[in-house]
Amino acid sequence: MSEQRSMNGAEWLAQALAGTGMTHVFFVESVLRRTLLALGDLGVTPVLAHSEKAAAYMADGYARIRRRPGVCMAQSVGAANLASGLQDAWLGRTPVIALTGRKEPSFQHRNAYQEIAHAPLFAAVTKFSTPVDTTAELPRLLRHAWRAALAETPRPTHLDFCGLQGDVIELGQTAEPTVIDPEARQIPAHRPVAASAEIERAAAALTAAQRVAIVAGDGAAASEAGPELLALAESLAAPVATTLGARGIIPTRHRLSAGVAGSYSAPPANRIVHGAELVLFVGCDTGDQVTLNWRVPAPGTPVVQIDANPSELGRSYPNTTGLLGDPKATLAALAQAIGRPVRDAGYAEEAARIVADWRATMAPLIESAGAPPRVERLCAEVTRALPSDAILVADTGYSGIWTGTMVELDGAGQTYLRAAGSLGWSFPASLGAKCAAPGRPVVCFTGDGGFYYHLAELETARRCGIAVIVIVNNNSGFGQNLTGVRRIAGNRPSRGEELVRFGPTDFTTVARSFGVRGIRVERAAEIAPALGEALRAGEPVVVDVVTDLEPRAPEPWAPVRP
């Protein structure tokens, strides 16, 4: 074996990152300059963003598509902005590795310009965060940051390099092999299968119940468990609801698909899940969003739960039979144990009827013509236009609800990514997603309120040739919040509205000023041609769809309070 030559830390870091197959890193100047130059020499593109938060969101979108760590970087004064951008990666369970610079020890505790303590900033949004004080420590700490980010549950990690720009690694030498992860693992890094006694117990509970609903979560999507999920659902005649993040894990128009459950849902999913005798959670965090504040399923409902993280088992529903294992591998084992039992299809048929009835009520809105266009029609046109290998990146709030309830996905080649809660996430995240999969069409769906956050990244998209399509649901306000502000404003509804209305902005003019193509849509009939043109363009395009603030997105069904 040839001996590794000694090199400085910048060279080592660049070679190690390039060696993982990484194609892009995301940063704001001034940090790790020699590393960035060396990365460029090795064919890894450094993408200069306009804010650290956007750089973190880009790395997040990149990592979600590659299913491997994404890297973002910022200097000392940018660290707080970078940390705030990791919130969505933390909540969305993405392996983002943040690299920052921190002033050297002689500057500490004496009012250093531009710097606050970094450790508390990263504590809430990383599972591992450590200073790097010497080049000799860099290989070990980066390998651990990588391993920890990928390990169950995937989440961000952070290395804080000594020196404002991370200078320490340029000073020392290392002869360590430039390898971070010899196994080149993707999420999920491991696929443990639940113990056979647990599987037998769960199989018995599932076959004894006649009305079983499945709720598949982000962990099931990360495990790519769609085919196994559908096979088990067929065996049990069990309708399948999902979290927003697992939208499209099975074909959304499948007769067993109940839609997204919880607070970002259309009425059918909650009714169906609430009507179950037993619920099977698969890779699902059982948090407030998917359970409508733990009302769906009702407390006390018997649960079987598959999760790769033991601390999730029974977290929200005490009456749980837990299966510790990777969702895909464990579902396959469970399906084998269950075989093909004789099932009463009554519950599945009832669920399909509930979905069909709701779809029928939406049909007139989906087919609506005229101006301003209805968002239901926009979503139907997105469904029609979305290529079979497309990535749809949705912002939070109504953008999540509209796309999660009204855009249909094929459950095969299409991928759905959604903000885990941070308004404005989707546009920079879509840029990262496109960097990870340049050959796939990437469509971002955002409200104008979300798009305003990171408009400057239109310049990045053009400069770096990142050809995403941004559909702006431009209703001149925070549409989702209208109901709430009116309610508290009582007999002064217009005062409430003032809190959430913006002036009218033409985002095509904004886009053009950045050198980006803009297509304005003011009538329903213009949507399809605009999406067609955008998909053919091969360059970044903003499709600015002028809509009305008033229409409400679908609302969840809620059980009557006892």
| Interacting residues with ligand TPP (CB under 6 A) | 395-399, 421-423, 447-450, 473, 475, 477-481
Nearest to 401 by CA among 287, 219, 292, 263: 263
Hey, what amino acid is at 52?
Answer: E
| Residue nearer to ligand TPP on the CB measure, 51 or 473 | 473
Nearest distance from residue 544's CB to ligand TPP, in Å?
13
Nearest distance from residue 56's CB to ligand TPP, in Å?
13
The rounded distance, in Å, linking the Cα atoms of 455 and 43 is: 28
The rounded distance, in Å, linking the Cα atoms of 108 and 105 is: 5
The rounded distance, in Å, linking the Cα atoms of 214 and 282 is: 7
| Residue nearer to ligand TPP on the CB measure, 278 or 379 | 379
Beta carbons of 22 and 71 less than 8 angstroms apart: yes
SS3 258: strand
Nearest distance from residue 452's CB to ligand TPP, in Å?
8
| Residue nearer to ligand TPP on the CB measure, 399 or 460 | 399
SS3 9: helix
Nearest distance from residue 202's CB to ligand TPP, in Å?
36
Nearest distance from residue 449's CB to ligand TPP, in Å?
3
Nearest distance from residue 224's CB to ligand TPP, in Å?
28
The rounded distance, in Å, linking the Cα atoms of 453 and 331 is: 40
Q: Which H helix or E strand runs over 41?
A: helix 33-41
| Residue nearer to ligand TPP on the CB measure, 421 or 559 | 421
Nearest distance from residue 485's CB to ligand TPP, in Å?
10
| Residue nearer to ligand TPP on the CB measure, 210 or 481 | 481
DSSP 276-328: -SEEEEES----HHHHTTTTSSPTT--EEEEESSGGGTTSS-SSEEEEES-HH
| Residue nearer to ligand TPP on the CB measure, 20 or 475 | 475
364 CB-near residues (< 8 Å, 6+ apart): none
| Residue nearer to ligand TPP on the CB measure, 228 or 544 | 544
| Residue nearer to ligand TPP on the CB measure, 61 or 139 | 61
Nearest distance from residue 490's CB to ligand TPP, in Å?
21
357 CB-near residues (< 8 Å, 6+ apart): none
Nearest residue to ligand TPP, using CB? Answer: 447
SS3 367: coil
φ/ψ of residue 321, rounded to 5: -95, 115
Tokens of 532: 């067609």
Please state, as a whole number, how many other Cβ atoms lie within 10 Å of the Cβ of residue 255: 13
| Residue nearer to ligand TPP on the CB measure, 132 or 378 | 378
Nearest distance from residue 218's CB to ligand TPP, in Å?
18
The rounded distance, in Å, linking the Cα atoms of 142 and 192 is: 25
